[in-house]
Amino acid sequence: MYRRILIICLLFTAMTVKAHQADVSTTMLVEKQDNSWVLQISASLTAFQHEIRTHFADTPYQTPEEFQKMILEHIKNNLHLSFNGIGDISFSNGVVILGHETKVVFEVFGIPSEINSVLVKNSAFKDIHKNQSALFLFKEGFSKEQFVLNEANDHTLALEVSGNKFVEAGHNEASIFSSSTAFVLLGVSAIVVLGLSVLGLGFLFKKFKRRKEIP
């Protein structure tokens, strides 16, 4: 645990390189110690504002609370998960943590204990030019791999289990080494955020559930 914290601290500076760019985000599914799951989506506040203004143009928000509700609705409308070919996955207790880097956290229900395949689609930022999202699935006993959701793959990835790792369906190796040099920096940033999420998602979920902040 202390080694992980040290690594996170060493990589923290690298995280700031990409944290506030509107075309970069992270999508993370994290299994907690009690076998429950949490979803966290992180992006710049600018990215969320752009999407909300695009999709809720007829009903612009007037308060921070309205903005947060629109974010939660937008994520739910543009996120699809299925495991082992079954799409009975539900999200609840959504929390929006506003800031220069804004986070959306959901509890996720319906994920089977034994996973053979995963389909992930997150088109929440598809209206932002050249947007790309680092995708992480953090499961106990599995290695950490980075994948990329972008326009080229329609913001969708089909993954399968190979040993103790997730790989793209039809590929023998995970996609972490196939990304461009520029996106590797995003990978570093996402690893940092992932580590922080694993260590503190429960704390963040409780601390910020009632937080109000003007975007």
Determine, yes or no, domain membership for 58.
yes
Between CA 170 and CA 92 the distance in angstroms is 32
Q: Exposed, middle or buried, 165 (CB in 10 Å: 0-12/13-18/19+)?
A: middle
Between CA 160 and CA 105 the distance in angstroms is 24
Determine, yes or no, domain membership for 94.
yes
Q: Calculate mean pLDDT across residues 40-60.
A: 95
Containing structural domain, residue 199: 2-120+174-207
Determine, yes or no, domain membership for 215.
no
Determine, yes or no, domain membership for 139.
no
- Give the DSSP H/E element, type plus range, for residue 137: strand 132-138
Determine, yes or no, domain membership for 144.
no
Q: Could you read off the pLDDT of 74-99 as tens digits, one per residue? A: 999 999 999 999 877 889 889 999 99
Of residues 67 and 175, more confidence is placed in: 67
Structurally, the chain folds into a number of domains equal to 1
Determine, yes or no, domain membership for 136.
no
Report the predicted TM-score, pTM, of the whole model to 2 decimal places: 0.75
Between CA 175 and CA 206 the distance in angstroms is 34
pLDDT at 101 over 60: yes
CATH classification of the domain holding 87: 3.30.70
Determine, yes or no, domain membership for 166.
no
- pLDDT confidence of 20, banded at 50, 70, 90? low
Determine, yes or no, domain membership for 87.
yes
Q: Calculate mean pLDDT across residues 43-58.
A: 96
Q: What percent of the chain has pLDDT over 90?
A: 60
pLDDT at 50 over 50: yes
In 3D space, the residue among 99, 72, 125, 108 whose CA is nearest the CA of residue 193 turns out to be 99
Residues 6+ apart with CB under 8 A from 137: 28, 29, 118, 145, 159, 166
